[in-house]
Structure 1
Amino acid sequence: MASNNFSLSIPTFKGDHYNSWAIKMKSYLKAMSLWETIESDVELTILPQNPTAAQIKKRDEEAAREAKALSCIHSAVSDGIFTSIMTCESPKEAWSTLKEEFEGNAKTKLMQVLNLKREFEMQRMKGNETIKEYVSKLMSIVNQIRLFGESFASERVVDKILVSVPEKYESKISSLEDSKDLSKITLVELVNALSAVDQRRLMREEENGGKTEGLLLAKSSFAKATSNKVQCNHCHKIGHEEKDCWNKGKPQCFKCKRYGHLAKNCRFQGDEEIMAQLMEAEPLL
């Protein structure tokens, strides 16, 4: 018969990322059949004057579970954190003390969520990042927001990517808009599509013996120095002529200034944060 035994590593809390630790610790305690002891905080059964053996056994099991749950919490925190709960006599009290100290009250949580949302909106993709690295950074912030119980739709991440990625992804986004409804594209689909740009770049680097950081950068700088003098009469962007403009023939939305759709179909309509970013930046499409 196959064994059902398995070992779990107890998560350790050192003072940072309390919400992540609390979720892991709750799962651990459930696996140990101890979470109910913390959640309910039921007082130990009071034994009558002449208790039966069954009553004594039940009382001892309750006391053992409570002691075990408290011991688990003690073992799951660093020495510095332990001092704040070492006087707690029940696992429920210890758990509540940690929650109050490190999660904070409703006002504190609201401020933390607002700071995370501000950090999300300020993110811009760096030149040496791949699209997957950039999205991973965005999702790290999003997941922290969600840990506070705040909803954060994946569509907002999609919108953020579309308005904040560098110009090298323009042609790919333009072709996506021609072939798909960008208002319905999923985050996974968008990342996979834009990753093709990074893969082609990597292949070119390998073909050039990895010299893109030096030789190809110098060539691109020279190319930019000459091409930047040219301005497209259609989209008014610097670096290409009207005959080479990928936006030529496409309608332009007067709300977001992007090409490829009309204002009535604008997916950013009503989103003031996204619209503000679009008005500050050059249109991608």
Structure 2
Amino acid sequence: MDTSSSPRLIPIQFSGNNYAIWSKAAKTTLCSKALWTHIKLPSPKTVTAEDGSVTVVPNTAAEESAWFQEDQLVLSLLHSSLEASILSTYIHKDTVKDLWDTLEGIYGNLSNSSRIYEIKKSLHSINQGGQPFNRLLGDLSALWAELDELRLVSTDSAVITQRNEQDKVYTLLLSLDGTYGDLVHHVLRQSELPSLNEVCMLIKREEGGRNLFQGKPELAHFRKTSFPSKERTPFFCEHCKKSGHTKAKCWILHPHLRPQKFREPGTQVRERALATPSHDMFSDEEYKTLKQLIQSASESGY
């Protein structure tokens, strides 16, 4: 076995969402270095006889040491292909088989729906953006290859029908507004992608719930219409039928309330006389007579 090669040989970095393509790239690399046995076989040798019986032959100390060295080499190869967050979580695994089985059990058995959705989303939004055509073609080819890896070519009519149904679901999910993100994640997290009818039902249910809670609460509406705010209610005078003031502050009924700048010359004395208490200057009878004269003069324009 060639151990002089650089340990950074697996071309795909595992992020937790691309197990299918990463595991294939890792297997290709390990098989090319005759190291795949560390994934599938334990350390002791197993011998299968012609009658089918299996005999376990323990390694010698030298064989065990060589096996351990190779195993650590393969472990370093896998470590170099893991993202930092994944590596920090599983770096305590001491053997290659333990690490591989753990990753396969956690990530390999999950539905590929989320990754297929992300690939289709990328294919839908990708554009040249001023880059060379070869760069664009390379990006598209990588996405197509990964999609083919996740959905192997099949001639089975049932599989083809199922994939056509799934493509409709993906297209529907991609066309939803960004506000439906939680619903999209819920659909994609399921072990099997729901049918188109089931997804439509979920969307209608979500839409109905939003319409239910988007309307104004009845109590708030009742309070708004039945108890209007005084600050927002326009003033209206019932005497002169004009807005902007009330009857208690109407200048026609109470001329003495008119600001100085709006008064006509000669009106100040008359208004002061109207506002002066009768018992200070005149008797009640004299005051009534004077008031009538002043009002008559005001109406006549004098």
* TM-score, normalising length: structure 2: 0.35
